[in-house]
A and B are shown apart, each in its own frame.
Chain A
Amino acid sequence: MNGFTRYLGRNLSLVVGSGLLLFLLAFVVVGHFIVDVEDARALSVRPLQPPSWRYPFGTDRQGRDLLAVMVAGTPLTLRIGFIAGILGVGIGTVLAFVAAYYRGWADTIIRGIADIGLTVPGLLVLIIIAVGIRGGLSVNQMALVVASLAWLNPTRTIRSQVLSLRERGYVEIARMSGMSGPAIIFFELMPNLLPYLAATLVNAVSSAILASIGLEVLGLGPIDAPTLGMTLYWVNFNAAMINGWWWWWLAPTVIIVLVFLGLFFVTVGLDEIANPRLRKSA
């Protein structure tokens, strides 16, 4: 335990990042006790109230209590990010192991698709997909839309890691002692990649959240869900900036910034665990 805390003392980014994320978690949990989440629906409270004791974050033009919106919306946005991120890294890991461990035609196809897919600007493809299935996208469908491209980057980065690992001596020995391919992947390669996979996951979650917010701000999100991105869509839709309703965009902006900062510092911290050579330079 002592060694663990001492390590955390050196890996400050991990501490700061997880601290920010824990703070958001606490905000959501405590928020559920002090505010009625039902007030995140339109027409629940008096519209356009600046922050006050009764409505600490103010209310928006359609009569939502913004504190309730944030308490209800933060987990929704994180959910989109985590579903898409986990799906993306999951699919990416499987494809990467198949491609890099077995090589051959599977590798050619998987690498080809990932390479071509990555040349294409993701947000635009997502826009085309979302426009195609518009009409009441739910939060989970939103996550699936984002996940449809979220596997490309993990596939490529994990593949190159596996490529370098599979030439190591211990993998060679495992192979010669008759271990099967899947067993080598699970018991020899996977454990060594875990910190790297974790960093990739956090990264994927962060870009999934960014993509989902992008779609939402463009008006392609779940129209009736109070996610952070949809709140920004309404901010833009009602020209809250020009009208001087600063509290409306301040709350979602601060929370999104905290989410991204938290995820970013966690990635930096995990990178340091995954790649000890960085420690020297940090």
Chain B
Amino acid sequence: MQLRDILKRCGVFFVIVWLAASLNFFLPKLSGQDPVRTKLLQQAQLGGYVQQGIDEMVKVYEVRFGLDRPLWQQYLSYLGDVVRGDFNFSIANYPRTVADMIGESIPWTVGLLGMTTILSFVIGTILGALLAWPRAPRWMAWLMPPLWALHAIPFFLLGLILMYLLAFQVPLLPIFGGYSMGVNPSLSFTFILDVMRHATLPALSIILVATGGWALGMRGMMVTTMGEDYVVFAEGKGLKSLTVFTRYCLRNAILPQITALALALGQILSGAVLVEVIFGYPGIGTLLFQAIRENDHFLIQGIVFTVIVSLGLATLLLDLVYPLLDPRISYRRT
């Protein structure tokens, strides 16, 4: 791969980042909403009376949040902030910064999605390969219809059903949250066990759905690969069927799966927003849900931006690494 291609790909990445930042900045402005006023009015209503000096308070807060300056100045300073990774304060939870709140929820999401993505990839790929292998046990054919069916269902719906069966009807597992209430997060054995117990249901609903997708993809690739001439030739040479299966078919069929895995890992932050919301799991998705409820648009922007950048970064890395995995790919003129 040449320097020019690398630079081009990095350029695309920065365009994505810039577009995301601009979209983030301008779209909420178009809505004509006034988050500061909304929040203050809410507070006043909670207090049970209408505050007299609300207009003055709005002014003070707008100066503090920098919302009183002309739009282009706000835009430029916003871009500057974004570069420094500063997403401003949360409007709904004022003294806390957006970066802080996002940083706190990222490990939860990355932990859950990282584990489920890799597990479902491994299980699904093995299953898919076996499904395409003529010597696989007969009963495996029966796995196809349920895998297909599960694959078509959204994560969070399966989550609802599992939640009812395994947490409500038969209270095996906790129904809600990332850890038990009243427990202080610490690195003790009991706490980790608690976290794992809470993560089981969301993880299960993701794995059951995602495994089907991986299996179907792998099976499709295997079927194509097994029709290739070199496989026929290998069989003709009298190689053991297991050798043909692993060395000739599997190895070649797995490449597109690895591309897909890299892309799926890039989507770790946005992959299961709804699952998190349904289970009240303290990750990015739930944070986003709360931010939407509280009309906290700095927080919404921060989350969306973080997710888009992480995905862009993953795509960039994949583009750079892929030629090493598959020598057939080169970025010379296509």
Please name all residues of chain A whose beta carbon is closer than 8 Å to the beta carbon of B149 when the two chains form the complex.
261
Please name all residues of chain B whose beta carbon is closer than 8 Å to the beta carbon of A127 when the two chains form the complex.
288, 292, 300, 304
Verify if A193 is at the interface (C-beta below 8 Å from B).
Answer: no
- B277 and A124 form a contact (CB under 8 A): no
Verify if B108 is at the interface (C-beta below 8 Å from A).
Answer: no
Partner of A132, one of B15, B30, B274, B303: B30
Cα(A214)–Cα(B267), bound, Å: 16
- A120 and B308 form a contact (CB under 8 A): yes
- A218 and B289 form a contact (CB under 8 A): yes
Please name all residues of chain A whose beta carbon is closer than 8 Å to the beta carbon of B295 when the two chains form the complex.
131
Partner of B307, one of A121, A134, A219, A232: A121
B17 CB to closest chain A CB (Å) equals 11
Verify if B20 is at the interface (C-beta below 8 Å from A).
Answer: yes
Please name all residues of chain A whose beta carbon is closer than 8 Å to the beta carbon of B16 when the two chains form the complex.
116, 119-120
- B270 and A218 form a contact (CB under 8 A): no
Given the interface pairs A124-B270, A241-B163, A264-B152, the reply to whether A132 lies near B27 with Cβ below 8 Å is: yes
In chain B, what residue has the closest Cβ to A120? B308
For the complex, would chain A's binding face be called helix, strand, loop or mixed by DSSP majority? helix
In chain A, what residue has the closest Cβ to B12? A116
Partner of B223, one of A213, A217, A236, A281: A281
- B160 and A253 form a contact (CB under 8 A): yes
- A121 and B267 form a contact (CB under 8 A): yes
In chain A, what residue has the closest Cβ to B263? A119
Partner of B277, one of A128, A218, A249, A268: A218
B314 CB to closest chain A CB (Å) equals 9
Q: Mark A188-214, 1 if CB is under 8 A from B, else 0.
A: 000000000000000000000010011
- B270 and A219 form a contact (CB under 8 A): no
For chain B residues 144-189, which have a beta carbon within 8 Å of chain A?
148-149, 151-154, 156-157, 160-161, 163-164, 168, 175-176
Please name all residues of chain A whose beta carbon is closer than 8 Å to the beta carbon of B224 when the two chains form the complex.
281
- B28 and A132 form a contact (CB under 8 A): yes
B302 CB to closest chain A CB (Å) equals 12
- A260 and B153 form a contact (CB under 8 A): yes
Cα(A263)–Cα(B152), bound, Å: 9
Verify if B203 is at the interface (C-beta below 8 Å from A).
Answer: no
Q: Mark B307-325, 1 if CB is under 8 A from A, else 0.
A: 1100110010000000000
Verify if B231 is at the interface (C-beta below 8 Å from A).
Answer: no
Please name all residues of chain B whose beta carbon is closer than 8 Å to the beta carbon of A116 when the two chains form the complex.
12, 15-16, 19
Using A235-B160, A242-B175 as known contacts, list a sample of 19 further A-B pairs with CB atoms less than 8 Å apart, ordered by residue number in A: A116-B12, A119-B312, A121-B307, A121-B308, A124-B270, A127-B292, A128-B23, A128-B301, A210-B154, A213-B154, A214-B154, A214-B274, A218-B273, A219-B289, A220-B292, A236-B278, A241-B160, A253-B161, A265-B152
